[in-house]
Structure 1
């Protein structure tokens, strides 16, 4: 069953449009299950009806004509119940609906399953048989699995506007990823391909048929020359039978059927790269299905040849990419080099199928002020080139074919955000002081020098978190002590005399170094943060030495230890910090021992706060990781994104306990992460007693504006009420109502989700 499923999915994925994909599915399911009928009914949002869109076994003239209301017949019942329906005699069911056009009166057994994507019913997949019987559990499992596969196909077709079989206008489709960089924007998708990856090549229609044919012909000649050159070079090293492989490749490049099919696909309007992908995949599937071992192996040769041709075309195409004025860059995995190739001023958004909020490109996006959404796993990016796309970087959403109303809304939101930041610029040099005189420090999270420049423009009073792993991620090897010292000095000098908190190298989890790979089944609970650097004292001590040397004459350095879960880790790290301090002192460099702090970001550290605070000079809560660990929710997983909620009572009570325990030992407590930059929840954090909040530079003016318009006493009243609640939504509603009553609706609105 699994092998059959794999082959069907592979064939469907290579279909040119939805109509072809549906035809393949109903035919293959009918054959595999040995049933008389397989049909697909799709839900049309414009009419609210289920329409017969594909069938094998019923009268095909009924396709596109037969339809049912959303609650009509057995099809409507399956859609309404959103679960499979298995009947031995369908006509006995009170909701059975007969259509003479289909000829289905001959069929008794009925098995239907809903086609659901992101909670929305897109249609119903049905199989029928003449004899009366209930379908087996294995058959039900197979049809349900095919329904889930079909859901992705339909959603992708709607997103790319290839619903050619339904004659509908392209549908607005929403895909959920994770936040990479905040902001809202509407632009045109430009798909950038991974090098020589056939599966990643998008469909792209072209009217320049002859140009594409010429490019393909040039690619064939170039690949031929390269193969002949390689064959000549290796002639003395290989046996004649081994050299014959190169001759086989030349013959394939001259094969009338293979090359002719690619040329025909180009003449049908597909660009050369897409034509190669389409034909090579088709030929590969044919050879892989053969029983003869020798012929089956030829599938790999065809695929390799396809990659060679593709690489040559990409080399030609690379210099000719046209970037529109509002380019939204889309790729499976975006690299910094891709960003650098776009003309200045044209890039307005970034969408990546892979990656996380902490990936290199996400960090660069935030520094550049460009909205980004990462980890959009279900995005049909291969079919998106040239499409209009709306990007919601505040909440990790990508909308293809957005309506005019949504585009206008997003553009208004972007303009309002711009105006809001401009209006708050007057707060830049003012302290963050509440109406009743309470002072709280607002610091910035940085990783690049670009972050520092923007932070200073927005009134940051220091750096609460400098991510030292960013320079490591941008290097091809571990930076030397001298290289690190220069980078750290730049950060320390930029904010002198204000404090700069440098977190020691924090890799692992979703942050990896190409030259220091960490591969684990569960990386977030694995070898990461302080665990890595304590196991590699040569990395840790060198980094501490670089920090200390960089602080000479400035004395504004603070050192922060990440991912602390036990007192033993702190004691071990402190011994190595002292060792590094004594080493540079012996070298004649006089710097005071800087304050050292720990990050509270795992549950065990919450309960050890008092013990940890006794050993260090300050405590900093990493709200992003602490929230994900407390709630057992991977914050980079779009499927459980709705469960990641820092209004959760467990999160708030843990934060409150941490602050109280830290202050009980006479040590200051700060917090960094998404929570600190949310103006609404910043009210609670201030009330809890946090001495400083550290956030992205964009959020500093918003948080400052909010806190300057409220009293500490009122904030504590709201906190007392909130801590009595057990539901995150109730907590959020209470805060919003209280702040609205104070006339702070505008500040609340800027934190709300952008919706159409």
Structure 2
């Protein structure tokens, strides 16, 4: 059964559209189950009815015509109950409904399983039998497994169909929504410009061409070039390989001359497709065919065909380099965005970013937040190679992408974009004003930085210091560990740019989702693995060089603060402090006169919350890393789109932990700051002020919004709101309560403008 399942899923994955995919499903499942009927009913979101979309065994003329609501028929029952239904005599069930056009009166037994994708019921997979038959547990389990496996495939095929539209006249092009991870806040409306990786058959977009002869010539040239390459390789390796190993090159040459492969590509080109798309289509079909073969030797040939396909594609791309036309409102889309891709877009044209892979912590997401470009990361279900030139709306607050938006959604988001623009202009005047509540409580607002480009943005928005300088960013931009002198230059720039304001430098925090190409860490569970202080304590040579560079960079400026990440207990902290003092002694021995800077501990692991007083006694300050602390308290990987919606810093457990940290640090006479997304959320900032945090550190983009709101409220009112929400047990109700209270005070203008659309 597992082998059958694998083959069906592979075949369905290779289907060119939803109709073909459903046809394969009903045919193969019927064969595998040895039943007389297999049908797929899909839920139409517009009519909220289950529509027969494919069948083997029922009357094919009924496809698209037979439908039922969730409260009628056995199919409706399976969908509304969201569980399988196994009946030996279906017609005796009170929910049984007869449709004459399907000819189903002859079928007695019924087994149905819901097709569910990301909690959304998409449809029902049904098998039926003429005789009375109780399908056994194994058969039921197989159908449930089948429907679970196919849910993602159907969702993808459905979305691709929605994006492409159903006809050249544009009929049937519907709005579709894809969920990712918020990368950088804000909303944008624009045109998708897809950047493709080199020679990847899976991401070649569909493209029509006019000059068929020119396209055929390009394909011929690519075939000739790869033939020459193969012959050269064979000759070059003649002395190193045995004849049977050299035969592989003959196999490649035979494949290149294989009429079925090249003829199919030529046929598709002649139908008006560009060579790259035709090649991708044919190679993928051949690969899938070989992968499904039972013979191990033949299965291996799939990789040979894939290799040939990539080599041909590389020549076609070289001959036809991807020339991107950047529209006025470009939304850059790629499988994996890189900072270099951002740099290619002419100034003023980039309004948004979408990356299929990557997390809210990726280099690109950090850069996007600093630049104020709305971004969605981790949009794994988005068939991105199909959306070039299509209108998109991206919502960086909720991590959502809308393709082919309808007039209502477009109007709503146009208002959001305009609201944001006006708000940003209105907040510029706050730059020189202090962040002070109505009753006189000061709250220093600091920034998170990592790139030198962040400095100008931070100062333009009135930052009073740096609460978190990510030292890993310079490490990530090199191909080796930077030397002490190289680090000294970078750190000095930051310290001098903000002098005399404080600059908090976090020691190297790699691991998790922050990798260095020259220091790869492969782990099953990187977030609970070798990362942060654990790496640098295991490599004191890296830690000492970095701390020495920081200390030397602060000479004559004395505005350095050192922050230690991922501390889980006293032993790690004591060891770190010992190394810092050793580095300080070494620098003093070089006759560089530097005072010992304040050293702080990052509270981002639950263990540190429970030891807050003991840790506070050993350091000069504490700083909460709200992103990681929320992630670890809730056991939610915030970079995983499947569970990202469970990640919420308004969760009561997070609020209780934060209060405990502030109270514990203050009890030992130490200051407590907080950095991360929570500090930059204006609504959350009100609660953090009420808890007693001594400073907030955030992305420069969010700073004016936070300052505006805190200047409009009294600390007494903030404490009143905090006491109110601490009695609530749901993060959603806490957020709604805060939003409502602020709106009632006339302070709703900095609340996420897209929230009303979601509501």
TM-score w.r.t. the length of structure 1 is 0.96
Tell me: CA distance 1:294–1:642, structure 2 relative to 1, closer, same or farther (3 Å).
Answer: closer
Quick check: 1:438 aligned with 2:441? yes
Tell me: CA distance 1:314–1:368, structure 2 relative to 1, closer, same or farther (3 Å).
Answer: farther
* CA shift for structure 1 position 383: 2.9
Offset from partner CA, 1:696-749 (integer Å, 9 cap, x none): 111111111111111112212222222233332333343334323322122335
Q: State the distance in 2 between where 1:164 and 1:431 align.
A: 52
Aligned to 2:544: 541
Please identify, of 605-614 and 208-217, the stretch whose mean Cα deviation from structure 2 is larger: 208-217
Aligned to 1:138: 138
Aligned to 2:55: 55
* CA shift for structure 1 position 689: 1.0
Tell me: CA distance 1:215–1:323, structure 2 relative to 1, closer, same or farther (3 Å).
Answer: farther
* CA shift for structure 1 position 294: 4.4
Q: Map 1:71-86; keep pairs closer than 5 Å.
A: 71-86=71-86
* CA shift for structure 1 position 557: 0.6
Quick check: 1:126 aligned with 2:129? no
Offset from partner CA, 1:213-255 (integer Å, 9 cap, x none): 3332222122122222222333343344433332332222122
Q: Map 1:548-567; keep pairs closer than 5 Å.
A: 548-567=551-570
Offset from partner CA, 1:544-573 (integer Å, 9 cap, x none): 111111111111111000111111111111
Tell me: CA distance 1:164–1:73, structure 2 relative to 1, closer, same or farther (3 Å).
Answer: farther
Aligned to 1:45: 45
Q: State the distance in 2 between where 1:721 and 1:291 align.
A: 65
Quick check: 1:691 aligned with 2:717? no
Tell me: CA distance 1:34–1:509, structure 2 relative to 1, closer, same or farther (3 Å).
Answer: same
Equivalent position SS for 2:153: helix
* CA shift for structure 1 position 164: 8.5
Equivalent position SS for 2:515: coil
Please identify, of 341-350 and 93-102, the stretch whose mean Cα deviation from structure 2 is larger: 341-350
Quick check: 1:596 aligned with 2:599? yes
Offset from partner CA, 1:440-463 (integer Å, 9 cap, x none): 100001111122111111111000
Aligned to 1:6: 6
Aligned to 1:393: 396
* CA shift for structure 1 position 190: 2.9
Tell me: CA distance 1:696–1:14, structure 2 relative to 1, closer, same or farther (3 Å).
Answer: same
Q: Map 1:471-486; keep pairs closer than 5 Å.
A: 471-486=474-489
* CA shift for structure 1 position 208: 4.8
Please identify, of 298-307 and 18-27, the stretch whose mean Cα deviation from structure 2 is larger: 298-307
Q: State the distance in 1 between where 2:539 and 2:613 align.
A: 28
Q: State the distance in 2 between where 1:261 and 1:16 align.
A: 15
Q: 1:492 touches 1:554 (CA, 8 Å); kept in 2?
A: yes
Please identify, of 362-371 and 645-654, the stretch whose mean Cα deviation from structure 2 is larger: 362-371
Q: Map 1:669-680; keep pairs closer than 5 Å.
A: 669-680=672-683
Aligned to 1:227: 230
Tell me: CA distance 1:163–1:329, structure 2 relative to 1, closer, same or farther (3 Å).
Answer: closer
- The gaps in structure 1 that reach 5 residues or longer are none
Quick check: 1:196 aligned with 2:193? no
Q: State the distance in 1 between where 2:68 and 2:294 align.
A: 45
Tell me: CA distance 1:747–1:365, structure 2 relative to 1, closer, same or farther (3 Å).
Answer: closer
Q: 1:624 touches 1:674 (CA, 8 Å); kept in 2?
A: yes
Offset from partner CA, 1:96-141 (integer Å, 9 cap, x none): 2222222211111111122222333222211111111121222222
Aligned to 1:658: 661
Please identify, of 323-332 and 138-147, the stretch whose mean Cα deviation from structure 2 is larger: 323-332
Which residue among 718, 739, 742 is the counterpart of 1:739?
742
Equivalent position SS for 2:758: coil
Q: State the distance in 2 between where 1:651 and 1:448 align.
A: 29
Q: State the distance in 1 between where 2:630 and 2:199 align.
A: 40
Q: Map 1:22-421; keep pairs closer than 5 Å.
A: 22-162=22-162, 169-421=172-424
Q: 1:557 touches 1:594 (CA, 8 Å); kept in 2?
A: yes
Equivalent position SS for 1:639: coil
Equivalent position SS for 1:638: coil
Tell me: CA distance 1:386–1:248, structure 2 relative to 1, closer, same or farther (3 Å).
Answer: same
Equivalent position SS for 1:351: strand
Quick check: 1:748 aligned with 2:751? yes
Which residue among 506, 515, 522 is the counterpart of 1:519?
522
Q: 1:389 touches 1:401 (CA, 8 Å); kept in 2?
A: yes
* CA shift for structure 1 position 205: 4.4
Aligned to 1:667: 670
Tell me: CA distance 1:199–1:651, structure 2 relative to 1, closer, same or farther (3 Å).
Answer: same
Please identify, of 235-244 and 683-692, the stretch whose mean Cα deviation from structure 2 is larger: 235-244
Q: 2:163 touches 2:176 (CA, 8 Å); kept in 1?
A: no
Aligned to 2:19: 19
Q: State the distance in 2 between where 1:14 and 1:539 align.
A: 48
Please identify, of 547-556 and 184-193, the stretch whose mean Cα deviation from structure 2 is larger: 184-193
Q: State the distance in 2 between where 1:562 and 1:163 align.
A: 44
Please identify, of 225-234 and 552-561, the stretch whose mean Cα deviation from structure 2 is larger: 225-234
Q: State the distance in 2 between where 1:469 and 1:499 align.
A: 19
Quick check: 1:571 aligned with 2:606? no
Offset from partner CA, 1:446-502 (integer Å, 9 cap, x none): 111122111111111000000111111111111111111111111111111100000
* CA shift for structure 1 position 378: 2.3
Please identify, of 93-102 and 675-684, the stretch whose mean Cα deviation from structure 2 is larger: 93-102
* CA shift for structure 1 position 528: 1.0
Equivalent position SS for 1:472: helix
Tell me: CA distance 1:751–1:427, structure 2 relative to 1, closer, same or farther (3 Å).
Answer: farther
Q: State the distance in 2 between where 1:526 and 1:27 align.
A: 46
* CA shift for structure 1 position 162: 5.0
Please identify, of 143-152 and 218-227, the stretch whose mean Cα deviation from structure 2 is larger: 143-152
Q: State the distance in 2 between where 1:262 and 1:372 align.
A: 37
* CA shift for structure 1 position 256: 1.3
Offset from partner CA, 1:347-406 (integer Å, 9 cap, x none): 322222221111122122223322221122222223333332221111211222222221
Tell me: CA distance 1:212–1:90, structure 2 relative to 1, closer, same or farther (3 Å).
Answer: farther
Q: 1:19 touches 1:163 (CA, 8 Å); kept in 2?
A: no
Please identify, of 162-171 and 466-475, the stretch whose mean Cα deviation from structure 2 is larger: 162-171
RMSD across aligned C-alpha pairs, in angstroms? 2.1
Tell me: CA distance 1:163–1:507, structure 2 relative to 1, closer, same or farther (3 Å).
Answer: closer
Q: State the distance in 2 between where 1:507 and 1:164 align.
A: 41
Q: 1:534 touches 1:540 (CA, 8 Å); kept in 2?
A: yes
Aligned to 1:729: 732
Aligned to 2:466: 463
Equivalent position SS for 2:524: coil
Equivalent position SS for 1:539: helix
Q: Map 1:704-723; keep pairs closer than 5 Å.
A: 704-723=707-726
Q: State the distance in 1 between where 2:228 and 2:125 align.
A: 50
* CA shift for structure 1 position 597: 0.4
Please identify, of 392-401 and 149-158, the stretch whose mean Cα deviation from structure 2 is larger: 149-158
Q: 1:43 touches 1:49 (CA, 8 Å); kept in 2?
A: yes
Q: 2:163 touches 2:403 (CA, 8 Å); kept in 1?
A: no
Tell me: CA distance 1:657–1:180, structure 2 relative to 1, closer, same or farther (3 Å).
Answer: same
Q: State the distance in 2 between where 1:381 and 1:71 align.
A: 36
Equivalent position SS for 1:189: strand
Q: 2:447 touches 2:467 (CA, 8 Å); kept in 1?
A: yes
Equivalent position SS for 1:318: coil
Equivalent position SS for 1:559: strand
* CA shift for structure 1 position 319: 4.3
TM-score w.r.t. the length of structure 2 is 0.95
Tell me: CA distance 1:715–1:165, structure 2 relative to 1, closer, same or farther (3 Å).
Answer: closer
Tell me: CA distance 1:207–1:143, structure 2 relative to 1, closer, same or farther (3 Å).
Answer: farther
Aligned residue pairs, count: 756
Tell me: CA distance 1:525–1:292, structure 2 relative to 1, closer, same or farther (3 Å).
Answer: closer
Q: 1:677 touches 1:699 (CA, 8 Å); kept in 2?
A: yes
Q: State the distance in 2 between where 1:221 and 1:324 align.
A: 36
Q: State the distance in 1 between where 2:165 and 2:387 align.
A: 18
